[in-house]
Amino acid sequence: MTRPSAADLDPERKEAVLAAADRRRAEAVGEAVTFVANLNNNVTTACNTGCLFCNFKDAARRFETDHDGSHDGFTKTPAESRATVRAAVERGVYEVCSVSGLHPAFALNDEHHEVLRGLDSPASEANYTPPERYDTDPGTYVEQMRAMSVDGVHLHSMTPEEAYHARRGTDWSYEAVYRELADAGLNSAPGTAAEILVDEVREVICPGKIGTDGWIEAMEGAMAAGLDATATIMYGHVDNEMHRAMHLKRVRDLQDRTGGITEFVPLSFVHERTPLYRHGVVDGGATDAEDELMIAVSRLFLDNVENIQTSWVKYGDAKALKTLSCGANDFMGTILSEEITKRAGGSFGEFRSFDDYVDLIASVGRIPVERSTDYRRRRRIDPDDGGPFGPTLGPNADGTPLLSKRERAERDGEAATADD
Ligand code: SF4
């Protein structure tokens, strides 16, 4: 597989593509830049899947009670998840996003535990080890959904890969699994774990994951169960332009069939501290030009997906702002807690306040708009109102900033020290 090189790009043609995408964005969604008040609550870092682009996981063996030695991973019980979400909801957060490692003790529900325990070799056949073997029992997926579904918060969780884990060893359909999760409080599914939807790439970077067809089947199951979903691409590793185009075509076809994808999220590979980089399979991530083009081509090619998201976590503020003029219109969320990118070597902080968002978006002449997860509720914010600004769309959101003045000062002070 050949990676594109910055030297291969014709700068004039690149600028023409970016300008066309910016025009398309203006026609499709106008000048608003949306963002959401959200919390990341990742339940566990225990995972045996071994994706080579990931440094979020910790080998699940280390979490077993009889294992000697320490690790800096974590597993939260349903009660701990609930406490984390409740505290955020009380501050005004109205979306909780939860994506976790595939803990071998996770099962959909008690019936699933029984099925998995009954296998001849649960560990090798279905990556299952019973919860009593671990220091902390993550509970079932259903229990975690119930726990995080606090006071009308929007629960965005259960990627296609997690849904596969929640039905492994059974012949249950994805639709049935997602229906049970929806009954327990799940509101929408993140279309992450997509990476590149081309099996020759997946076999290199994530051979332990479901294939392209499995990912698409799971997404269709989520939407058949009545859930909205997002879709992603994680690019800039061993993939080339052909793989990215094939991926976009699969997402566009899926959207033509289902209509349930609310946003598309290009995720630039963060290479530091990943096995792909440590083992010399890649020597870096995408170039700035590739990042800009990925956003622009997504806007132009996915003419059936309204919202294209850019990520300050992956790109940093300056490049993320630039991508708002290359086709992006959504600026993700406040992220009260974020583990995944930090552990992979990202260094762009863990939280954006509403004031940060208003300043950043106004600085490029666009209109800050607070949105609900499903984009159906929106509130335009006028920077001239002066702030401080806070969320208003959630059950406990009354416009109060998510962090107090003192907390923000502490955060800014810590950020300055870390940068030094
Ligand atoms: S990407 Fe997900 S499934 Fe793969 S190793 Fe990391 S946590 Fe596990």
pLDDT digits (tens, 9 = 90+) for 325-355: 999 999 999 987 644 444 555 544 578 889 9
Residue nearest to atom 2 of ligand 1 (CA): 101
Angle formed at CA 228 by CA 226 and CA 234, multiple of 5 degrees: 140
Q: Which amino acid is at 319?
A: K
Residue 228 is predicted with a pLDDT of 97
The residues lining ligand 1, judged by C-beta closer than 6 Å to any ligand atom, are: 47, 49-51, 54, 56-57, 101-102, 161, 206
Q: Average model confidence (pLDDT) for the chain?
A: 92
Distance 392 CA to ligand 1 centre (A): 34
Q: Which atom of ligand 1 is nearest to the CA of 206?
A: 4
Among 54, 195, 232, the mutation site with the greatest number of ligand 1 atoms within 8 A of its Cβ is 54
Reduced to 3 states (helix: H, G, I; strand: E, B; else coil), residue 272 is coil
Give mean pLDDT, residues 284-290: 95
Percentage of the chain exceeding pLDDT 70: 92
How far is 116 from 83, CA to CA, in rounded Å? 29
Residue 141 is predicted with a pLDDT of 98
Note the pTM of the prediction, 2 decimals: 0.93
Other Cβ atoms less than 10 A from the Cβ of 20: the count is 16
Distance 192 CA to ligand 1 centre (A): 11
Give mean pLDDT, residues 19-37: 98
State how far Cα 23 lies from the chain centre. 27
Among 40, 56, 192, the mutation site with the greatest number of ligand 1 atoms within 8 A of its Cβ is 56
The tens digit of pLDDT for each residue in 60-117 reads 999 999 998 888 899 999 999 999 999 889 889 999 999 999 999 999 999 999 999 9
Residue nearest to atom 4 of ligand 1 (CA): 51
Domains of the chain: 8-419 (3.20.20.70)
